[in-house]
């Protein structure tokens, strides 16, 4: 029986990059209230549509993946702000009532 490893999203992202994929990594940098994932939680996204990890309980991953695609295309990092007062977050629905900031960067 093989033992599941501790999840290392950055290592997964690095492996995808090494295999020739274009990859962006999103990292939770700040949280307020009842955000489900702590600062440091990560999600990796490739241009080809692969995803690993998470930055919330599932509520903002879609929006973060969209932003990651932009960052892959432009090469510019983004600092995303999701919260109940934020139009986009309302739209994607942070059901937990928390707020999070997510930094998205490309692996160059």
Give the 3-state DSSP-derived string for the chain, with helices as H, strands as E and coil as C. Answer: CCCCCCCCHHHHHHHHHHCCCCEEEEEEEEEECCCCCCCCCEEEEECCCCEEECCCCCCCHHHHHHHHHHHHHHCCCEEEEECCCCHHHHHHCCCCCCEEEEEEEECC
Segment contacting other proteins by CB under 8 A, of 44-52, 54-62, 86-94, 100-108: 100-108
Site for other proteins contains 19 (CB under 8 A): no
**85: phi then psi, degrees, rounded to nearest 5:** -85, -10
Judged by CB under 8 A, which of 22, 27, 35, 54 binds other proteins? Answer: 27
Q: Give the residue with the Cβ less far from other proteins, 50 or 95.
A: 50
Q: Is residue 47 close enough to count as binding other proteins by CB under 8 A?
A: no
Is residue 14 close enough to count as binding other proteins by CB under 8 A? yes
Under the binding rule (CB under 8 A), the answer on residue 84 touching other proteins is no
Q: Does 70 bind other proteins (CB under 8 A)?
A: no
Give the binding site for other proteins (CB under 8 A). Answer: 1-8, 10-11, 14, 25, 27, 29-30, 38-40, 77-79, 101, 103, 105-108
């Amino acid at each position: 029986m093989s033992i599941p490893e501790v999840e290392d999203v950055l290592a997964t992202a690095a492996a995808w990059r090494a295999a020739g994929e274009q990859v962006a990594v999103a990292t939770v940098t700040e949280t307020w209230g009842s955000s489900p994932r702590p600062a440091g939680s990560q999600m990796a996204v490739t241009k080809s549509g692969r995803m690993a990890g998470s930055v919330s309980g599932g509520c903002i991953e879609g929006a973060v993946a969209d932003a990651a695609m932009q960052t892959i295309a432009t090469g510019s990092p983004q600092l995303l702000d999701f919260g109940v007062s934020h139009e986009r977050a309302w739209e994607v629905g942070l059901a937990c009532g928390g707020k999070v900031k997510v930094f998205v960067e490309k692996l160059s």
